[in-house]
Chain A
Amino acid sequence: MHTDVIVVEHLSVGYGSSVVVEDVSLRLTPGTLVALMGSNGSGKSTILKTLVGLIPPVHGEVTVFGDVCGRHPARTAYVPQHSATSETLPLRARDVVAMGRYAHLGLLSRFTRHDREVVDAAMSTMGVTMFADKPLQSLSGGQCQRVHLAQAIAHDADVWFLDEPTAGLDAEGRDTVTSCVAAARERGACVVVSTHDIDDAREADIVLLVAKEVIAQGAPREVLTDANLRRMYGFTGQH
């Protein structure tokens, strides 16, 4: 019980009183990789946002580090879908990675030599050091995604929430995400990713097939069956 990082019991997520996904239950120990798999509009992002603490649960219980979601920003890293960055915002790649330290620094703490070292190491891990001083807008989609993952590394968090980290990436970009996630797990971090890609889901310890409800849950081998996938896609009517 004490080793559970995230505990979810009969959770219904949604906006206001309208439920998007019903009855999710889950227990995650350190180092676990969970894939929330579903098509667009299935409710994956809504589950993630609830776990991050951005929207309150509609029903049920959910705790992260034994606390209400969102209480430990320094220990949780969140990389939103398409990692929205303002078109006009003047930011270099390095500044985006440095934002990974904000949850530790809060409003007033100074950016120390240690913070700078963590940021440099994260950039070097993700291979973005060479364009550290380039404006973010000048980078390609894959390069941007690497910068955002470097931000998650710099965050030095115990739980990662990644919303469709491989969307729009080529094979090489996907490999980068996979190795980055693997490195995080080796450190004992718990990783929750959303994806609509079956190859991503195969890498996980636990897969949740989501389509307004949890269609199946468990090890990839048991869950990613033709019958389950057909049910998942049929349910949301996307394919």
Chain B
Amino acid sequence: MRLALLAGLVTAVICAVAGTFIVLRGLAFIGDALAHGVLPGIAAATLLGVSTIVGAAVGAAVLVGGVGLITRRTRLSSDTAIGLLFVGMLALGVIMTSRSSSFAGDLTRILFGELLGANASQLMWMIIATLVVGGVTYVCRRPFMLLCISRDLARANGFNASLFEALMMSVIGVAILASFQSVGTLLVFGLLIAPPSTAALVTRRLHTMIIVASISGVVATYVGLLVSFHHDLAAGASVVVSATAIFVLVFAAATVRHRRMSDSHPAVSPAGAHHHAH
């Protein structure tokens, strides 16, 4: 249980960092596709007896590469390309797992994770992945921030937009790979989106958004595991439900606060700005 808790907390942090950019750049769909598109890779890896992480990485690379290829070579939008490959790969994964009798319990495990089955070496890899993701994000904070505004702005400031876009996708990919074993491919997405969305409601700066997202993810994981332990509920699902519940609570609180603020203080006064401009 202690290992499960630690694995859950690390997952919460890595997903908060990567998820912040998914939320800011509007990459939710590709993030979702990545989280699910890795399924045939994992299934193939299990059938071949190699590491599921390797299988998932290959699945993710095929998905991202395929989306890039279709977007470049056709007039289809990236959303269409993502949708096409995402559903196709998910279905392929389901077929592969359903064909083999050895997968009986495995599909559930892949989709919903096995937080309570985390071991020490898994945990160590997750911590390393979290450090890498955090380090890359810190070093690339300027181009990442410009990319969140526009590609052109990043390029005009001398940053190679394609390179940093690829790095951002890699950060997201690594977070998903590091997380799917504990919360599962289906639920990793909840941790990628819910905590950063909660943070976006209440923060004004990028690094505070990442910190608040991490805290919110950690609280959700702790509460989720506690509830799951005492009431014998699915661990991963409980974590994601509590992450979403935190979003709803913060959203309600922010709305009430905003109403009160706008009743007592109207927004920045244009008259005051006028006074200062000259």
Contacts and interface: CB of A to CB of B under 8 A. Distances in A.
Interface string B136-179: 00011011011011101101111100000000000000000000
Given A95-B205, A135-B204, A143-B268, A108 B156 contact: no
Interface string B194-227: 0000001001111011000000000000000000
Given A90-B208, A99-B146, A138-B268, A127 B278 contact: yes
Interface string A36-79: 00000000000001001110000000000000001001101010
A90 B203 contact: yes
Interface stretch (B43-51, B109-117, B269-277): B269-277
Interface in A131-155: 131, 133-135, 138-140, 142-143, 146
A119 to B, nearest CB: 14
Interface residues of A, number: 43
Contacts of A106: 142, 158
A1 interface: no
A74 B268 contact: no
Interface in B6-28: 23-26
B273 A131 contact: yes
A172 B273 CA distance: 11
Contacts, number: 107
Contacts of A138: 267-268
A105 interface: yes
B139 A108 contact: yes
Interface residues of B, number: 36
A99 B157 contact: yes
Contacts of B24: 86, 88-89
A130 interface: yes
A217 interface: no
- Residue among B23, B25, B273 facing the most chain A CB atoms (10 A cut-off): B273
Contacts of A103: 156-158
A172 B271 CA distance: 11
A205 B103 CA distance: 75
Contacts of A134: 268
Contacts of B272: 130
Contacts of A185: none
Contacts of B209: 90
Contacts of B274: 172
Contact of A74 (B150, B158, B206): B158
B268 A131 contact: yes
Nearest to A55: B152
A84 interface: yes
The 3 A-B residue pairs with the shortest CB-CB distance in the complex, in nearest-first order: A73-B158, A127-B277, A78-B156
Given A80-B152, A84-B150, A127-B278, 18 more contacts: A53-B156, A80-B156, A90-B203, A90-B205, A91-B204, A92-B204, A95-B206, A99-B145, A99-B146, A102-B157, A105-B142, A107-B143, A129-B276, A130-B276, A140-B268, A142-B270, A146-B277, A176-B277
8 contacts: A80-B153, A84-B153, A89-B145, A89-B206, A90-B205, A91-B205, A92-B205, A130-B273
